[in-house]
């Protein structure tokens, strides 16, 4: 069943990604990492997509973060203003993390950070004792989503690490560069064998990361995936 919800704010996250924050209907309970269907407009012209809930269950609102692709749904989302109504249906999905594993690695690219952001915020707010390493690949510095928040989570909690690697770094970038590969994982995460891997992002990225962890000998039961088609 769809629930009508009111948009409360729009938050540009990068030149190519926008968060839409909305009221959370009473009784709408979700787990970190789940998604929902969003319907914009009504009747024959309505537009519908599934989007991860990038907010955490510990936050009093719902938020989605959408890549600005220039396609009709993205344009309609961009045109929303606070007070507008849209409809949601959900939550759905089994790509969730509520602290079941003591040590995890989050591998992500671009917009694929959304479920992982929800999980990290949740882990921080609930003071879960688990160790989380986020390895996040983006094209340029301007494409990093939730970068400041991830850094502050890392500063506040010695069991969180946030590592960003850029495939097209600018000359002033002093961080990691290049794609996520075996060398990078072995160098930055010495205990990688003991960790459960959560992989999330566009299909090409998830396929590449799946092949990588398989080649590294990580058993299938130690890998969780969420694919965003359409990128
Ligand atoms: C579980 C799940 C969670 C997701 N979470 C997120 C999220 O948090 N954030 C997010 O941004 N996305 C997320 N997605 C993906 C999202 O649902 C959309 O598929 C994606 O955002 C693209 O939507 P769009 O409207 O911008 O593009 P679309 O219009 O759907 O286009 C998608 C692709 O189809 C091509 N295309 C479109 N129309 C045509 C046409 N007429 N002919 C040929 N090719 C065409 C486009 O070039 C593009 O490559 C998620 C998907 C899933 C399954």
Closest Cα to atom 32 of ligand 1: 230
Closest Cα to atom 47 of ligand 1: 230
Instruction: Write down the pTM of the prediction.
Output: 0.95
Query: What average pLDDT score do residues 146-166 get?
Result: 95
For 103-228, CATH number out of 3.30.200.20, 3.30.360.10, 3.80.30.20, 3.40.50.80 equals: 3.40.50.80
Proportion of the chain above pLDDT 90, given as a percent: 96
Alpha carbon distance 42, 201 (integer Å): 29
pLDDT tens sequence across 8-46: 999 999 999 999 999 999 999 999 999 999 999 988 889
**DSSP string covering the chain:** --EEEEEEEEEEEETTEEEEEEEPPTT----TT-EEEEEES-GGG-EEEEEEB-S-TTSSEEEEEEE--SSHHHHHHHT--TT-EEEEEEEE-S---SS-SSEEEEEEEGGGHHHHHHHHHHHHHTT---EEEEEEEESSGGG-SSHHHHHHHHHH-TTEEEEEEESS--TT--SEES---HHHHHHH-TTGGGSEEEEEEEHHHHHHHHHHHHHTT--GGGEEEEEETT-
Which residue ranges have their beta carbon within 6 Å of ligand 1? 35, 49-52, 65-67, 69, 71, 73-74, 93, 111, 114, 226, 228-230
CA of 111 to the centre of ligand 1 (A): 11
Alpha carbon distance 129, 64 (integer Å): 27
pLDDT tens sequence across 77-125: 999 999 999 999 999 999 999 999 999 999 999 999 999 999 999 999 9
Please list the residue range(s) of the chain that carry CATH number 2.40.30.10.
Answer: 3-92
Whether the pLDDT of residue 230 is over 80: the answer is no
Please list the residue range(s) of the chain that carry CATH number 3.40.50.80.
Answer: 103-228
Average pLDDT in the chain = 96
What class is the 3-92 domain?
Answer: mainly beta
């Amino acid at each position: 069943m769809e629930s009508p919800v009111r948009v409360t704010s729009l938050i540009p996250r990068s030149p190519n990604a926008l968060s839409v924050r909305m009221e959370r209907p009473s009784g709408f309970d979700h787990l970190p990492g789940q998604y929902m269907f969003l319907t914009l407009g009504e009747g024959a012209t309505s537009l519908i997509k599934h989007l991860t809930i990038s907010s955490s269950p510990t936050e009093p609102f719902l938020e989605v973060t959408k890549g600005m692709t220039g396609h009709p749904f993205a344009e309609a989302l961009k045109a929303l203003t606070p007070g507008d109504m849209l409809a949601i249906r959900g939550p759905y999905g089994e790509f969730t993390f509520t602290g079941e594993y003591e040590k995890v690695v989050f591998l992500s690219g671009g917009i694929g950070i959304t479920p992982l952001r929800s999980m990290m915020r949740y882990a921080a707010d609930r003071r879960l004792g688990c160790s989380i390493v986020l390895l996040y690949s983006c094209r340029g510095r301007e494409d990093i989503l939730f970068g400041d928040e991830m850094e502050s989570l890392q500063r506040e909690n010695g069991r969180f690490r946030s590592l960003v690697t850029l495939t097209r770094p600018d000359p002033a970038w002093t961080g990691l560069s290049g794609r996520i590969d075996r060398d990078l994982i072995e160098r930055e995460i010495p205990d990688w064998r003991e960790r459960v891997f959560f992989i999330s992002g566009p299909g090409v990225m998830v396929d590449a990361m799946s092949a990588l962890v398989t080649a590294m000998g990580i058993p299938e039961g130690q890998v969780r995936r969420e694919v965003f088609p359409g990128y």
